Chain A
């Protein structure tokens, strides 16, 4: 049931630390950066990035949560309505550099929906994308600016990210689709 492991807890931690440095380097300092996690595993990842940046820069970046359920273009393809988990963006997006954070980048449709949702809240100076895993198979012209790990996959496989905050453990695994179809439908 756990599938083939592709990232351990240590590897996840190192990837988060590396991305946190890349974010600050690209912006030439932490000023103007805000982190927005996509519900639900993007949210703890965004918080971890903020923790890492606070550690080496001494600045706490604002962290928000974005639920993209209402913006999805594939609602009719899923078995039941995804449960709405809530959006909380307690800062002004106008002029900020927003880093969208998600666990897995796949077709790109989630990110398109997230960008649609974000621009309803304001006009960011720039939107960047940080993901823990890029598994390929894009259906839209979207790429990540910061990637924890590139993982070649087939469409029959499902990448499962587990984080301590949501799942009790940190790891990333690949499953065959059969047993994972239910999980995919619930995403």
Chain B
């Protein structure tokens, strides 16, 4: 990808000319990234623009810049993960950071070390950025209270997965962003989140960013997997753009009709308590994203999935690999988005050259 030659920043402070191009960008003020609910639209826009720059870095012959040279980025995952962990690791390495990987299963955590102790230990070992995934909602907030550097939430329980929400939004901006201005580019677009919304931190974080971008947002799945979301829809989403709506339904036909975007969610068998679903087979036949169901959406609909997929359950294999799918783009964009967030959070500390 090649960026335009025109500078995209807004006017410099003190610039009296009044002659300027696209919108002013804000500066980043957050020390941690625990969820997207505290980000303003200006913050989100800055993250997306910085991701543009990282995409350009990724296209270079040597896709590596020294922005975080010598900085210790520790990746502490208490839950299984391939793409998120590797994506953070590649992102940190592309910025020349030193990466330390800790899988909780093979660390002192298995000997009974507490989260707070582990955080203290990795800090004493030199970590400046802590990327953390934990099965308990809120765990990264506890870590952020004790940790002297920056905490990035790589997914906590059912609660939040902010980098996934931002990479999803970036992927949508590539399609709907038009001129790359700071406008709410999902205004008037019907975006459907389909499947196991109840257990999904991806859905919970995406609701904030998609509503902020102006989407006509639909949550669809069996009623047992939508519990609590109707109340959220009635209350409204804080920070939503004008014109954005949130609709909760179990009617998959109504949800998919004329959809611009369908985001299928994984059925999280490991979190599933008894009785929520009769069987995976019944779920697949009633809510699985098949080519036939997708045919009722707009002809240029795009299909997303945060991965890992249960093909044949929430999404049919021919849809996942079909022409509407941007699932591999999501993975590629994940690296660029995480580079941007690492840089925005820790770039100022990183200047050890």
Contacts from A to B (Cβ < 8 Å):
1-2, 39-40, 43, 63, 65, 67, 69-81, 83-88, 90, 116-117, 120-122, 162, 166-169, 179-180, 182-183, 186-187
Contact = CB atoms under 8 A, between A and B. Distances in A.
B17 A168 contact: yes
Given A70-B57, A72-B351, A90 B2 contact: yes
B52 A169 contact: no
Contact of B353 (A1, A73, A85, A179): A73
B17 A81 contact: no
Contacts of B9: 40, 83, 85
B28 A80 contact: yes
A122 B3 contact: no
Given A75-B347, A81-B348, A120-B64, A86 B19 contact: no
Contacts of B17: 162, 167-169
A39 B14 CA distance: 18
A166 B22 CA distance: 12
B62 interface: yes
Interface in B261-293: none
Given A81-B343, A86-B52, 19 more contacts: A39-B7, A43-B5, A69-B53, A70-B57, A71-B65, A73-B351, A75-B67, A76-B348, A76-B349, A76-B351, A79-B27, A80-B348, A83-B25, A84-B49, A84-B53, A85-B53, A87-B60, A168-B19, A183-B14
A179 B53 contact: no
Contacts, number: 112
Interface residues of B, number: 42
A69 B57 CA distance: 12
Nearest to B95: A70
A121 B60 contact: yes
A79 B27 CA distance: 9
B344 interface: yes
B19 A40 contact: no
B60 A120 contact: yes
A122 B343 CA distance: 25
21 contacts: A1-B14, A2-B16, A63-B5, A67-B53, A69-B67, A71-B66, A71-B67, A73-B351, A75-B350, A76-B349, A84-B49, A85-B7, A86-B7, A87-B53, A88-B3, A90-B2, A117-B65, A120-B61, A120-B64, A121-B62, A168-B17
Nearest to B25: A83
Contacts of A69: 53, 67
- Those 8 A-B pairs whose CB atoms lie nearest each other, nearest first: A168-B19, A86-B3, A80-B27, A70-B65, A84-B53, A75-B351, A76-B351, A168-B17
